[in-house]
Amino acid sequence: MTKLATIEYSNRRKDLMQQLPRGAVVIIQCAPVYIRNGDVEHDYRQDSSFYYLSGMVEPHTTLVLVNGPEGCSSNIFCRSKDKLQEIWHGRRLGVDAAPHTLMIDNAYTSETLEAQLIELLDGASQVVFGFSRENTAELVQQSLSKLRGLARQGKISPTQVVDLDPLVDAMRLLKSAAEIDQMALASNISVVAHKRAMSVCKVGMNEFQLAAEVHHQFSVQGSQRLAYGSIVAGGDNACILHYTNNDQVLQDGDLVLIDAGCELDHYASDITRTFPVNGRFSEAQKTIYELVLSAHTAALACIKPGAVFADMQNAAVEVITQGLIDIGLLTGELDKNIADQSYRKFYMHNIGHWLGMDVHDVGIYKFNGESRPLIQGMVTTVEPGIYIDPDDVSIAPEWRGIGVRIEDNILVTKDGYRNLTEYLPVTVADIETLMAG
């Protein structure tokens, strides 16, 4: 499994603690284990921020970082080695190996968490944890009440609570060189998988068979899981933005929209391509496709440090709206259609989102109501689309049910951008050539 160097996690912990005052104690817990049905568990996927700070994939784990008088100490509470449990359920890192493997100062067994936390919080100035994490909030609440109850024994409980997530979110939003390499690898895997889908697609295949080709290619290249549920939408299913049924037969003369991305060591990719099931775009499909592609190109052209999301969205909206006027799907002046947002009947979502460990990654989009400027090291998607209601009889039949989205993964660089998914064909000619081959 491709993995970042352990020092990367250690440096993140140091960076985080440098932002906090002396006496701060950070508590972050792993993702819970969820039951699927009966005694079957959902596949376990570590919480992104917990993994970001620990590099630890196992459940039942808590990380506690302390800005103490002698500097920062890191403490992990994890499952103990247990031969019987490991025979049944899989290997465990264990308390003895955890410090060296994770570059963490101290490791304790999870069962001691509540008792140890009282000691670690005694005399702390503030407790820093994710306010939206219910389990941790409950743990902190209980620990603080116990600590206050021990005042006569000389224990001192912290008086401030601080939300951890905005701090970690801001760190996660800016990708390091190692993270960028990882995201480029994830993007490459997804590019190859989308190419495979274009190559093998045939009239009469089911959407789930095409999905299986994509997923197979993800797995054979080392991806551990999907970054999100794949969308493989033939014909007018493409007009359902979050279509995931993926169970219809692909028809001659239809387009198929695939929105699928692999995850690699907890980093996501997120690609959409739309192509003709039979390998050749019809005139109407080509018109809409090239309009979306022009909007995509216009949005990309805005990307550089200092630009804002609204620049990309406005550029795409202008191209799409003018194009829809030109072909008669909207009427009247460009400015009026933009002002009254009539384009939203066909393009009803935003231009993109942050991409990272989560497909819709963390990080705020606005400061004081203003769109936040891009800076080097951010990764965003660019994904304009046009979706024409199949049931709208006011629209000429040749357009109805066409749904097109084009989505790439874009790194903001020092003076522009790098398209991490640029090697996936995107023009009509390149797609038709690949499919003919």
Q: Please say whether the beta carbons of 123 and 148 come within 8 A.
A: no
208 binds ligand GLY, rule: CB under 6 A:
no
Q: How far is the CB of 383 from Mn ion (least distance, A)?
A: 5
Q: Is 361 in the site for ligand GLY (CB under 6 A)?
A: no
Does 358 engage in binding with ligand GLY (CB under 6 A)?
no
- The CA-atom distances, in angstroms, between 414 and each of 51, 374, 376, 411 are 28, 10, 5, 10
Of 254, 259, 263, 361, the one binding Mn ion by CB under 5 A:
259
Stretch that binds Mn ion, among 90-98, 253-261, 338-346, 396-404 (CB under 5 A): 253-261
Q: Is 263 in the site for Mn ion (CB under 5 A)?
A: no
Between residues 254 and 259, which has the closer beta carbon with respect to Mn ion? 259
265 near Mn ion, rule: CB under 5 A:
no
Among 136, 269, 313, 381, binds Mn ion (CB under 5 A): 381
Exposed/middle/buried for residue 156 (C-beta within 10 Å: 0-12, 13-18, 19+): middle
Say whether residue 409 binds Mn ion (CB under 5 A): no
Site size toward ligand GLY, by CB under 6 A: 7
Tokens, residue 427: 């023009």
270 lines the binding site for Mn ion (CB under 5 A): yes
Decide if residue 259 touches ligand GLY (CB under 6 A): yes
175 touches 183 (CB < 8 A):
yes
433's tokens: 């050539």
Q: Which stretch binds Mn ion (CB under 5 A): 55-63, 92-100, 216-224, 381-389?
A: 381-389
Using CB under 5 A, which of the segments 172-180, 183-191, 268-276, 307-315 binds Mn ion? 268-276
| Least distance (Å) between residue 278 CB and ligand GLY | 25
58 binds ligand GLY (CB under 6 A): no
The correct pick among 23, 228, 308, 390 for binding ligand GLY (CB under 6 A) is 228
Q: Which does 228 bind (CB under 5 to 8 A by kind): Mn ion, ligand GLY, none?
A: ligand GLY
Which residues are the active-site residues?
39, 242, 259, 270, 349, 353, 360, 383, 387, 405, 407
- Closest to ligand GLY by CB, 179 or 407: 407
Q: For binding to ligand GLY (CB under 6 A), which residues are involved?
A: 228, 259, 270, 353, 359, 383, 407
Which chain residues interact with Mn ion by CB under 5 A?
259, 270, 272, 381, 407
